[in-house]
């Protein structure tokens, strides 16, 4: 599961490469580290049909089942203490920390599109998530769980995760209460080398060409784009750093 990435490219360059006509992100500095629930830029198609950049919060809505189970667990503890409560309100205010990675887009039971993710896999909710490197914990090489950073090469060229987004209203943290936000996440797939050597479970879906970016943002249906949820060929990525909590190396242009 990828829960940390960097986006060190200049906003203007991202907008140019992704052909985003509008930039709603403001003059934000590059991000050496983006963590779950952090704000980061995405490229999406706006209401006017033009591509735009906007800052969204990382973490799509959690499943209703997960929130129901968490609320039931909380309710049982309150019942044990004899505390009165309104379960509907308890469920509404159950913290939803968000789901950063979208893996199971197809139900294993039915073979159909996963009911939870189906509403956001259509063209209206797809986006590109710009990054220059991403980290996975070392779970399968030395087992240290230290970060291993990956990029297309040492220069950290810009690439994009295949993302989805949605407006969302929820409680992220109890201390902040109810919030209305725009949330995003990105798809994952089977790991390819060199990621597989350190984290064999999964890696982000990475789109590396203009044709792939265009297809992801404009493909009419999930059937048209689902083939993009696949690993890169082995050796496409490179290990560029070990251990740090951020990757603040900016892209190098020839």
Q: How far is CA 117 from CA 63, 110, 114, 220, 242, in A?
A: 9, 14, 6, 16, 33
- pLDDT: which is higher, 165 or 81: 165
Please say if the pLDDT value at position 43 is more than 70: yes
Q: What's the CA gap between 103 and 117, in Å, rounded?
A: 10
- What's the half-sphere exposure (Cβ side, CA atoms, 13 Å) at 248? 4
Please say if the pLDDT value at position 254 is more than 90: no
CB-based burial label for 29 (10 Å; 0-12, 13-18, 19+): exposed
Q: What's the CA gap between 104 and 102, in Å, rounded?
A: 6
For residue 85, what pLDDT is reported? Answer: 83
Please say if the pLDDT value at position 90 is more than 90: no
Strand partners, 60: 99
- pLDDT-based confidence at residue 54 (cuts at 50, 70, 90): very high
When the pLDDT of each residue in the chain is averaged and rounded to a whole number, the result is 93
| Sequence spans of domains, the chain | 12-61+96-127+162-189+204-236
3.90.1680.20, 3.40.30.10, 1.20.1250.20, 3.30.450.20: which CATH number matches 12-61+96-127+162-189+204-236? Answer: 3.90.1680.20
Please say if the pLDDT value at position 164 is more than 80: yes
CB-based burial label for 112 (10 Å; 0-12, 13-18, 19+): exposed
What are the pLDDT digits (tens) for 115-163? 999 999 999 999 999 999 999 999 999 989 999 999 999 999 999 999 9
pTM: 0.93
């Amino acid at each position: 599961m990828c829960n940390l990435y960097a986006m060190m490219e200049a906003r203007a360059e991202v907008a140019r490469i992704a052909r985003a006509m509008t930039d709603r992100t403001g003059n934000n500095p590059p991000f050496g580290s983006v963590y779950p629930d952090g704000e980061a830029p995405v490229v999406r198609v706006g209401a006017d049909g033009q591509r735009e950049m906007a800052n969204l919060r990382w973490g799509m809505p959690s499943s209703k089942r997960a929130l129901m189970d968490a609320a039931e667990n909380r309710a049982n503890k309150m019942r044990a203490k004899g505390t009165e409560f309104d379960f509907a309100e308890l469920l509404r205010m159950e913290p939803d920390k968000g789901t950063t990675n979208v893996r199971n887009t197809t139900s294993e039971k039915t073979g159909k599109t996963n009911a939870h993710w189906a509403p956001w896999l259509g063209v209206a909710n797809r986006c590109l998530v710009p990054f220059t490197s991403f980290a996975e914990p070392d779970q399968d090489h030395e087992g240290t769980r230290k970060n291993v950073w990956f990029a297309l090469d040492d220069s950290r060229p810009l690439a994009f995760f295949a993302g989805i987004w949605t407006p969302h209203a929820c409680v992220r943290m109890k201390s902040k209460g109810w919030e209305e936000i725009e949330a995003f996440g990105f798809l994952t797939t089977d790991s390819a080398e060199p990621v597989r050597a350190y984290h064999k479970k999964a890696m982000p879906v990475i789109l590396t060409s203009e044709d792939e970016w265009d297809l992801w943002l404009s493909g009419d249906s999930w059937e048209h784009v689902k083939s993009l949820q696949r690993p890169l060929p082995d050796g496409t990525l490179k290990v560029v750093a070990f251990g740090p909590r951020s990757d603040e190396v900016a892209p190098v242009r020839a």
